[in-house]
Structure 1
């Protein structure tokens, strides 16, 4: 079983070493060292970063990127606010919640342009809709990750309230999630695209019962602090150009072999089973392609930010709306990235 908690300690130690792979454009002493934090050890979930590292796109911008894996979006935002990282990949729900507590985190690139979460049940279960989960327990990988906010959003849409009409139980992912299903601790699981693929690949067949309309709710994206944007704009622009190049490179099937090699370097455990790695990459990559009518890679739709906030308020996850929701995100760096690719 691939399990992000079991891998965390090993990955945190190994990723900084892996982050220097690729043909260096500068001597190491000439590169600015920065840190990127991700909410799980999976290189595939952050594939543009590892591709940009492997292809030397960050080095071309004068950056040496260290990647560290921590546990969930809440921890990512804590690392950013504590000055322990320059960039991270949190979900929109946790970011809005953090801003209500005074954390000036800003999303700058929409990585998971299509929802990369869903509420899954065992393949053979009788559940056909989320409404049938009234009174049931829904498992989550983390206590405060993006999957929790997404599931609460879905359940609120079905007229149910957390703690009254259903319960969340933090069970972890991979093996622990499988055990929770088998032991009857949970009837459903709020899973990312990667989590679902892992469960199915490893013998726990699940199916998604999330209503189709929630597919528009984008998932985790790249974030930094507002202070970094204001006082270190050159860094944010350099990051954005390199990241966008890595994203575009990975979407080109002609580069598939190189991409999978970079991802295996970033997380050797994911690369051990080549067939599984390729299938998981395809699933995650598909969620990063904007829906028709969008403005291109990395672009945020303002109306969905509003829907995210409305759902968080309705579900009681935040006490009320932000004074200025537009300060939580920007499309200016996605535009800079797109110009670099084109």
Structure 2
């Protein structure tokens, strides 16, 4: 069984979303596939929900079920167990999984700019990460992408987990707010969405992450190497639909339709229209690479190397992978971009 996070009925767990949202085609004529995401947010996976709502997956003969589970580690477990076809894990957890012979592959760089940061309360005396020495950093999950990102930042500051600082898994949203208010944590490794939610809940925070860590891309679309080898048509179909959804959402002329699709995906996020719109803007901005010349979803090889170096330095993996280039590919982003440009 997958380790599912507890969530409200607004989440589409084990629901064939494409059919539920009335996309083109008939569900009985489509191939049913499962996508797993590391949190309940539809906004964080907005290209999926837009591609569902606009019928792009149905155009490719796919009926997509969306499930939310607890963090990138669980996403990779679901993929390796054959319980899902595609997922959205972070690069750190994927490299760590590959060091344990989990043959997962990133195929589309969704968070092309870092969608994580280390935040402290607005009124905290802490001004930079060096001042987190001896402190407790909260995380939403025990093994999610936010953990690897924070460890990377702290390693860059010359600090080692367990000796110079500690992590404490506190959850996100309300539990994270409570952890701050109760003094359990001094900082929080948060995604763009997490930070927005904390601020919305009245827990004003500010980001103290050094600017140079913005190049570390975040969660992307992954599948298993066996799926690429044995079911390539599926991976190409997914990539075309996903990239079309991504491109559609980047066009402000489509904004009203996009926000409706996201509210259909998670009605709770759509209850506060102003917050939904602001959060979408924040998340969407992180999906556009600093250098857009290669199109959407493109991975820079040099940052994969930096991710691996940080994981080795932080002790998350015993040493470099035999073939880091096998952890990712840009071929399906290219296929997706071609479809999105038509």
| TM-score grouping bracket, smaller chain normalisation | over 0.9
1:339 corresponding residue in structure 2: 338
Whole-angstrom CA distance in 2 between matches of 1:279 and 1:287: 13
**Is the aligned partner of 1:125 residue 2:124?**
yes
Query: In 1, are the aligned partners of 2:17 and 2:64 still within 8 Å (CA)?
Result: no
Segments of 4+ moved more than 3 angstroms: 21-25
Query: Which residue number in structure 1 is paired with residue 179 of structure 2?
Result: 180
CA distance in 1, matches of 2:202, 2:19: 35
1:202 aligns with 2:201: yes
1:1-342 correspondence runs (5 A): 5-7=5-7, 11-13=11-13, 16-292=15-291, 294-342=293-341
Change in 2 beyond 3 A, CA 1:56/1:86: same
Structure-2 separation of matches of 1:175 and 1:23:
33
Instruction: Give deviations 1:76-115, integer Å, cap 9, x for gaps.
Output: 0000000000000000000000000010000000000000
Cα distance in 2 for residues equivalent to 1:11 and 1:134? 38
CA RMSD of the aligned region, Å? Answer: 1.3
Count of matched residue pairs = 338
Whether the 8 Å CA contact 1:21–1:54 is kept in 2: the answer is no
Post-superposition Cα deviations, 1:168-214, rounded to whole Å, max 9, x if no partner, equal 00000111101111111100000000000000111000000000000
Return the alpha-carbon distance in structure 2 between the equivalents of residues 207 and 19 of structure 1: 38
Whether contact under 8 Å (1:5, 1:172) holds in the other structure is no
SS in 1 for 2:180: helix
- Partner SS for 1:268: coil
Matched residue SS, 2:268:
helix
Q: CA deviation at 1:295?
A: 1.5
Compute the displacement of 1:26 (Å).
2.8
Q: CA deviation at 1:119?
A: 0.2
SS in 2 for 1:114: coil
Q: CA deviation at 1:21?
A: 4.3
Deviation by residue 1:25-76 (Cα, 9 ceiling, x = unmatched): 4332210000000000100000000000000000000000000000000000
Paired residues of 1:121 and 1:189 also in contact (CA < 8 A)? yes
What is the TM-score with the length of structure 1 in the denominator? Answer: 0.96
Gaps of 5+ in 2: none
